[in-house]
Structure 1
Amino acid sequence: MISFFRKIRNLPAGKAGKMADDNRPLKYARYAIGEIVLVVIGILIALSINNWNSDRIDSIKEQSLLKELKSDYLSNIKEIEVTLNQMITQQEAYEKIFDYFDNDKPVDSTLQKCFELIQGIGVFNSANTTYKFIETNGINLLSNSEIRKDATILYDEYFSNIVIRRNNHYDLIKNNLMPFIKREFRSSSVYYKGNNITRLILNVPINFEELRENIEFRNTLVEIYDYTLIRKVALEKTLKLLNEKIMTLEENILE
């Protein structure tokens, strides 16, 4: 059929016109329809090629985003592990302090070190470059709705809560614990000799027996200790979720 149309199309203009003049409308109609069909087929093929090329480019961009998102997740895992280890260290420090309080143990270097450790809060810096790009430019490039949902939950909920809890922890230490440290302890101090740092005083309670009986101080320690445990559990939960979501990313990354 197409061969026939091509033959008709290649006829000289006079012949084609003669077909119409010779009262052969059916052949002329076939010729015209053939021209239209060929044009439509050409357009469809061009659109198909264009769509295929566009899909290929989008697929390349998506794979790049998935790899970058995985890299950010791995960076966040390292950050969370560091903070989690700090919370575990603080938990142990609080428990040792309570042991000294409850069992009338004398002040020693271990207790002094514990009082130093509980003043930290741990720092979490979220790696979010890829997520910010996805938010503003590339959300439609992620064809997997589960991955889009995972990223939103992790950054807008879990990582955000980590920062909020860190700030709350800082406020508890600054507003509740540090007034006692400043009032009831000989503060830590250091001096420099060349490139060496020597510690002179390490958080020594001025009167540990009175401090041991101070209910307000004890309650302050318990409050911050409890919040440390809350942060620890939240960090562990986030760490577990992150590892699960990395597995989901790996299933969608083409090697």
Structure 2
Amino acid sequence: MIKFFRKIRQNLLMENKTGKYFKYAIGEIILVVIGILIALSINNWNEDRKAKTYEEQVYTQIYKDIKADSLNLSLVIKYYKQKDTLMNRILYDSVPSIEYETINDENQYTFPYGIRLITNHDNISNTKKGYQLFKTFNTMDIDSDSLSFSIEDYYSQAIINEKYELVKNATDRNITEFQQKDWFLDFAVNHKLNLDYLDYINNSRDFKIRVFDYQLFAIKNHNRDLIQQQELAEIIKEKIKDRLEK
């Protein structure tokens, strides 16, 4: 093709048709420019298509991650709700007396109104595979997009969860201090019901205070954050579905 155009130019020069030569040269330049613009347009289209495909993959992964998070959040929220009911009965002296009559060597560890209520906790470990991919985006659109703000907000709440640390600290403190009680070895090692332990969980003011502290940290604060996180997770899921359907 290049040889073809070159031959035409040479013939025009040899025939001393300078005017036609310059017109032809200008036309050739225009054709080259048009060819370059078409190539750039195709390249940009390919790049946009690749970016769109990658964006869809990222949002699909985030959707899967948040869906899994939401399921785990539901389980933990339900777990804390059940605990809240038990703790309120302890704090308001509404545990039926017959409940304490059922405790024995075999079931004292799983007894719902015992120390196990305030010596364990649960938390969410968020799946961040999609979020790590999301962080690789580097466009103005993604930075100013409402969906991206929601995603950033969700993971900032999930990563920085100081209230969970309060629950964990309260739990660890209870375990450490219970280990100093005379009845603890019977409870944890000998699997023998110690009457002092029964009296402690039934009548002790100290036990009620610990229950109140745990409820404050776990139910009133941490669990409230988990509920908000789940609500945000559901909002993001809907936004992602809308985005992917466009």
TM-score bracket, normalised by the shorter chain, equals 0.7 to 0.9
Deviations 1:89-113 (A, max 9, x none): 221121121233x789473447942
Residue in structure 2 matched with residue 45 of structure 1 by the alignment: 38
CA distance in 2, matches of 1:113, 1:207: 13
* Number of equivalences: 232
Match of 2:212 among 215, 222, 238: 222
Letter in 1 for 2:146: E
Q: Is there any run of 5+ residues in structure 1 with no aligned partner, and where?
A: 1-7, 192-199
Q: Counterparts of 1:69-108 in structure 2 under 5 Å?
A: 69-100=62-93, 105=97, 107-108=100-101
1:31 matched to 2:21 = no
Under a length normalisation based on structure 2, what TM-score does the superposition of the two structures give?
0.79
Residue in structure 2 matched with residue 196 of structure 1 by the alignment: none
Under a length normalisation based on structure 1, what TM-score does the superposition of the two structures give?
0.76
Partner SS, residue 126 of structure 2: coil
1:168 matched to 2:166 = yes
CA distance in 1, matches of 2:188, 2:78: 25
Residue in structure 2 matched with residue 249 of structure 1 by the alignment: 240
Q: Check 1:52–1:209 CA distance in 2 against 1; reply closer, same or farther (3 A cut).
A: closer
CA distance in 2, matches of 1:222, 1:44: 72
Letter in 2 for 1:224: Y
Q: Is there any run of 5+ residues in structure 2 with no aligned partner, and where?
A: none
User: Is the strand fraction higher in 1 or 2?
Assistant: 1
Deviations 1:68-87 (A, max 9, x none): 11000011111211211221
Question: Which protein has the larger Cα radius of gyration, Structure 1 or Structure 2?
Answer: 1
- The percent of aligned pairs where both chains have the same amino acid is 18
Q: Check 1:202–1:153 CA distance in 2 against 1; reply closer, same or farther (3 A cut).
A: farther
Q: Counterparts of 1:1-255 in structure 2 under 5 Å?
A: 12-18=8-14, 21=16, 25-100=18-93, 105=97, 107-109=100-102, 112-115=111-114, 116-135=116-135, 137-140=136-139, 143=142, 145-156=145-156, 158-162=157-161, 164-176=162-174, 178-180=176-178, 182-183=180-181, 185-186=183-184, 188-189=187-188, 200-201=191-192, 205-206=196-197, 208=199, 212=203, 214=205, 216-229=206-219, 230-254=221-245
Letter in 1 for 2:113: C
